[in-house]
Amino acid sequence: MTGLKKYVSSAPLVLALVVGGLSVSGCATKKYVDEQVAAVGTRVDAVDAKASDAIQRADAANAAAQAAAADARTANQRLDQLTPRVETLEQRPMRAPRN
């Protein structure tokens, strides 16, 4: 029983060391949390800026594609208007060149 008394008498000391160790290392300080949040915030801001830039470039590319499509429609309409005239000219007999 003397061995058991030895362990019981040192139990409060061990318990105090364990609780003290956990209280010191178990919680993050406000400064640490602020630093981590600031670092994450900086990364989020950088990603947001890249996303905004990508959206602007995509919008510009879309506008250019729409303008090109409109130009192509206009060219096709003009081609459709000229096709009958060209076919008429191709069906006429060739004249002899003048000297």
Full pLDDT tens readout for the chain, 99 residues: 455 555 556 667 666 767 666 565 567 788 999 999 999 999 999 999 999 999 999 999 999 999 999 999 999 999 999 999 988 888 887 777 776
pLDDT of 55: 97
DSSP helix/strand/coil, 38: helix
> What is the per-residue burial (b if ≥16 Cβ within 10 Å, else e) of 60-79?
eeeeeeeeeeeeeeeeeeee
Name the 3-class secondary structure at 92.
Answer: coil
Return the pLDDT at 1.
47
User: Quick one: pLDDT at residue 91?
Assistant: 87
Structure tokens at 2: 């003397």
